[in-house]
Amino acid sequence: MPHEGMIHGANGVTDYTAKTVAVRENMDPAAQVKTLAHELGHVLLHGPDNDEARQHRGIGEVEAESVALMIGAAHGMDTSGYTIPYVSTWAARVDAKSPARSSRPPVSESARRHWESWTGSTPHK
């Protein structure tokens, strides 16, 4: 995507119907990689059949950004300056839900699968 105006101000977008992921081109490469990791979180954890993520967008965004944070950390990339405010904003918008608690198993599982697919080994606990 050339710029955020083409995707409603977002840095990236996952289209389940078209089976595509798009990331803005007008960001620095590190931000593009982090955004791609965020979209990977959506691909792995959310889809048309995930009712909770569809009904509560905040949960989906917290989960996807948490995957990006974990992937970034595993590869020596500190994304906390962007991730912490982003997650805090979305988490505050989820009524009667605790995204941090409800998302832990799916986020951990997604990050573990990513690590194993890239390295061929299981991450240390």
Query: What is the tally of helices (H) and strands (E) in the chain?
Result: 5, 2
pLDDT in tens, 28-75: 999 999 999 999 989 988 888 877 666 778 888 888 998 898 889 888
Domain ranges (residues) in the chain = 4-119
Degrees to nearest 5, angle at CA 124 with 104 and 97:
5
User: How does pLDDT run across 85-104, given as a tens digit for each residue?
Assistant: 998 888 887 765 555 555 44
Quick one: pLDDT band at residue 14, thresholds 50, 70, 90?
Answer: very high
Distance between CA atoms of residues 31 and 104, nearest Å: 24
Q: If you ran DSSP here, which 8-state letter would residue 48 be given?
A: T
Of 55 and 84, the one with more pLDDT: 84
Cβ neighbours of 66 (radius 10 Å): 24
Residue range 3-21: average pLDDT? Answer: 88
- Phi/psi of residue 113, nearest 5 degrees: -60, -40
**Whole-angstrom distance, CA of residue 41 vs CA of residue 46:** 8
